[in-house]
Structure 1
Amino acid sequence: MTFDAVILAGGRATRLGGVAKSGIVVGGVTLLEHALAATREARRTVVVGPDDGTRLPDGTLRTREDPPFGGPVAGIDAGLRALERAAAAELVLVLAVDVPRSALAVPRLRAALAAHPDADGAHLVTPEGPQWLVGLYRRAALRGTLDAVRDPSGSVHGLPVRRLVTLLRRVGVSDEAGLSDDVDTWDDVTRLEKEGMS
């Protein structure tokens, strides 16, 4: 099951005082390094966010939504555009950079999508609700929904993720273990450090 990956790393991180999430360390490793580990089996990976000088693995792409801080839908759009400059894989792994346990979720997402060949994508679901930014999607379906939600100028800037994914036929993958727990505050960093990363 060949897939490409889009890592969304372009948020403002206002609850963290504006510190770039990608560089925050959890379990001795930056959040970006955790996300890159989750995409290690991807054919190609693109990081969507500012160039902060971090050296990316060979072959990893970097791009930015235009204008910046356009939100996750704009980030997904920019990531797909970067991947589609060459032949793109059928599947796209979409990961928010602030989910340090995402590598543990990838095999579950792949298995769920393999078991549901008619689905457009699979994503984690916690007791609190769906976690769309830890998901594996069919690229053609994702591209089609992006094109469907563009405003008259062609922009997807500021659109909520819900508006994009609700147009897709999705499989929810239960996340009782908290694999999609993210880092929004410094308290989250402390909690995840205490819980460990496995």
Structure 2
Amino acid sequence: MPGSRLPAEGDFSCAAVVVAGGASRRLNHVPKASLSDGTNTLLGCALEAVATASPRVVVGPESLPLPSGVLRTREDPPFSGPAAAIHAGLECIAADCERSQVPLPEWCLILGVDTPRVAPAVQQLIAAARNAERAAGFSPTDSESSAGFWGVAEGIYQPLVGIYHFEAIRSVFSTGTTDASVRSFLRRLNPAAVEMSAADTADVDTWEQAQALGYTTSLWSSY
């Protein structure tokens, strides 16, 4: 499936990976992406939050309904964890850019599918990356500097709410990601913290959290 070629906001070059293929064990295996508040699904919220990114790729099963122009891929093997999903998403973006004969993006948003109110946090990340580009001496390939930003809400780091220099994160996630810790890879990038509201980064891992956020109706029962 060809990727969207619409430019990111202004002259800011940014792609996005949405991790959406987890097993949802604490939700009795009901797909998180399918949960709806009656107006939108968690998947829809995630894609809207990264609407200015290009290309956008969702890492999840073939059964996920996606808008036209959104790429899809899957971690290998399926259900081998979010680190493997990030690797698959980054490689999908690189392959799409090669097919389309366009440059790789400068930045890449990494987002889980289960944070329905995350759009303001995503804008914070984009603002942080833009400011970094303007800063004198910013060098995302310098091992002593930060290659990106991740969210921190009330002292809790959010590994699936972040933005990173594309080539740096692709290199870090290139091997050994199956059933691995996402944080162990991201720490190699020395990401800078962006303070965020806990309300913006609230996620859905349990039915209690789904109830609190209003996403309790599943629009499809399984992957």
Q: How does 1:1-198 map to 2 (within 5 A)?
A: 1-26=12-37, 28-54=39-65, 56-85=66-95, 86=97, 87-117=103-133, 118=138, 119-147=146-174, 150=175, 155-193=176-214
Question: Is the contact between residue 26 and residue 100 of structure 1 (CA under 8 Å) also seen in structure 2?
Answer: no
Distance (Å, rounded) in 2 between the aligned partners of 1:93 and 1:8 = 11
Structure 1 residue runs of 5 or longer lacking an equivalent are: none
- How far did residue 122 of structure 1 move? 1.1
So what's the TM-score if we normalise by structure 1?
A: 0.89
RMSD: 1.6
Give the counterpart letter for 1:162 in structure 2.
R
CA 1:76 to 1:25, structure 2 compared with 1: closer, same or farther past 3 Å? same
- How far did residue 27 of structure 1 move? 6.0
Query: Identical aligned pairs, as a percentage?
Result: 40
Give the counterpart letter for 1:60 in structure 2.
V
CA offsets 1:86-142 (integer angstroms, 9 cap, x no match): 242111111000010121211100111222343311111011411010111111110
CA 1:139 to 1:174, structure 2 compared with 1: closer, same or farther past 3 Å? same
Q: Which runs of 4+ in 1 moved over 6 A?
A: none
Distance (Å, rounded) in 2 between the aligned partners of 1:26 and 1:124 = 25
Moved more, 10-19 or 110-119: 110-119
Distance (Å, rounded) in 2 between the aligned partners of 1:43 and 1:4 = 5
Give the counterpart letter for 2:170 in structure 1.
R
CA offsets 1:31-73 (integer angstroms, 9 cap, x no match): 000011011101111110112251x221111110110011111
The number of residue pairs the alignment matches comes to 187
Question: Is the contact between residue 3 and residue 42 of structure 1 (CA under 8 Å) also seen in structure 2?
Answer: yes
Distance (Å, rounded) in 1 between the aligned partners of 2:187 and 2:23 = 25
Structure 2 residue runs of 5 or longer lacking an equivalent are: 1-11, 98-102, 139-145, 216-223
